[in-house]
C-alpha cells in the first residue's frame, strides 16, 4: 500500500510538472512560473470542488432511501461491511453500463451508477460493482483519480491557450510556432499516459478490495464480463466530450477505437476477471 501511494504521488507530481514544461515551452521562464502557479491553483481547486464538477458534468441526480430504496440500501449495506461512512448516492440517466466513485475522502465520498448498469446487472452483480467503487473510497483512490482527471483537462486547455495566444521564450522572442504545435499535441498525450499509469495501478486493488467487501469475487467478475460486452456498443456522450474523466469509470467508457483503446486507462478486462476468479 505504501509503495502504491509513493508511486501515485510521483505520478501526480509528474502531472503538475507538465504544467511547467508546457509553460516553459510556450513562454520561457516566465511562462513556466505562471504555469506552475496555475497548476498549483488547479490542484487546490480540484481538491475542494472537482467531485461536484464531475457530478454536475454528468448530470448525476442524488437519490436516497425513498427515491431509490433498493439501490440505496445495497450501497448502505456494503458501506457498513466495509466500515465506511455512508457515501452520497447518485444515478446518471445514461444507457451505457458504468459506475464511478468520487470525493476527497471517505467522509465526503459519492458513488454513482448509470441507469444502464442497473438494468443490465443482477442485484448480486451490482453489489460486486458497488463493492469495487467503495474499495476505491476505502483506498482513498477517489481524490487522486478526480484530481488527475481535472488537472489533465487543464493541461490540454493550457497548451491550446498558449498556442492560440502565442508565447515567448526566456529572452522575450516569439516562440517557435512549430514548437507550440508540438506542445499542443504532446502535452495532452503525456497527461493521458500519466493518467493511464495512475488508473491501472489502482484498478486491480479496487477489484480485490471490492470482492472482499461484497464477499463474492465471481459476482464482480461476471459483472465486468457483461459490462465490457455491452459498453462497447453503447456510446457515452459526456465521457466522449470529457475523455479525461474516463479513468474514473469501472470500465473504459470511450466508444472510439484506435488511440483511445491503445491508451486505455484501464487494464485488460480479461486479466481483471482472471484475477478475480483466482480469488475463489
User: Distance between CA 177 and CA 236 in Å, rounded?
Assistant: 35
Cβ–Cβ under 8 Å, residues 78 and 211: no
User: Distance between CA 33 and CA 202 in Å, rounded?
Assistant: 32
User: Distance between CA 225 and CA 270 in Å, rounded?
Assistant: 8
Distances (CA, A) of 156 to 15, 45, 75, 151, 187: 11, 17, 35, 9, 7
SS3 call for 197: helix
Q: 82 is written with which cell numbers?
A: 466495509
SS3 call for 167: coil
SS3 call for 99: strand
User: Distance between CA 280 and CA 275 in Å, rounded?
Assistant: 10
Contacts of 185 (CB under 8 A, 6+ apart): none
In the set 94, 133, 203, 228, the catalytic residue is: 133
Distances (CA, A) of 253 to 82, 148, 267, 276: 27, 17, 13, 21
Decide if 171 is catalytic: no
User: Distance between CA 178 and CA 183 in Å, rounded?
Assistant: 9
Instruction: List the catalytic residues.
Output: 133
Amino acid at each position: 500500500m505504501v509503495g502504491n501511494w509513493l508511486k501515485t504521488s510521483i505520478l501526480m507530481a509528474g502531472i503538475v510538472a507538465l504544467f511547467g514544461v508546457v509553460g516553459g515551452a510556450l513562454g520561457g521562464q516566465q511562462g513556466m512560473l505562471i504555469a506552475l502557479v496555475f497548476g498549483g491553483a488547479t490542484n487546490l481547486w480540484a481538491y475542494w470542488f472537482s467531485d461536484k464538477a464531475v457530478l454536475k458534468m454528468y448530470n448525476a441526480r442524488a437519490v436516497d432511501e425513498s427515491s431509490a430504496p433498493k439501490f440505496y440500501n445495497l450501497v448502505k449495506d456494503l458501506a457498513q461491511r466495509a466500515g465506511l461512512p455512508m457515501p452520497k448516492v447518485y444515478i446518471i440517466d445514461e444507457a451505457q453500463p458504468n459506475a464511478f466513485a468520487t470525493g476527497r475522502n471517505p467522509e465526503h465520498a459519492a458513488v454513482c451508477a448509470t441507469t444502464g448498469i442497473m438494468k443490465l446487472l443482477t442485484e448480486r452483480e451490482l453489489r460486486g460493482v458497488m463493492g469495487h467503487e467503495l474499495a476505491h473510497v476505502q483506498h482513498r483512490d477517489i481524490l487522486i483519480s478526480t484530481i488527475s482527471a481535472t488537472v489533465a483537462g487543464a493541461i490540454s486547455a493550457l497548451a491550446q491557450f498558449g498556442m492560440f495566444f502565442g508565447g515567448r521564450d526566456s529572452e522575450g522572442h516569439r516562440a517557435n510556432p512549430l514548437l507550440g504545435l508540438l506542445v499542443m499535441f504532446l502535452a495532452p498525450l503525456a497527461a493521458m499516459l500519466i493518467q493511464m499509469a495512475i488508473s491501472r495501478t489502482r484498478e486491480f486493488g479496487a477489484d480485490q478490495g471490492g470482492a472482499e467487501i461484497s464477499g463474492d469475487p465471481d459476482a464482480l467478475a461476471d459483472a465486468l464480463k457483461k459490462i465490457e460486452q455491452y459498453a462497447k456498443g453503447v456510446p457515452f456522450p459526456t465521457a466522449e466530450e470529457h475523455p479525461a474523466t474516463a479513468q474514473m469509470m469501472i470500465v473504459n467508457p470511450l466508444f472510439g477505437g484506435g488511440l483511445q483503446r491503445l491508451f486505455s486507462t484501464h487494464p485488460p478486462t480479461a486479466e481483471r476477471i482472471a484475477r478475480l476468479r483466482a480469488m475463489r
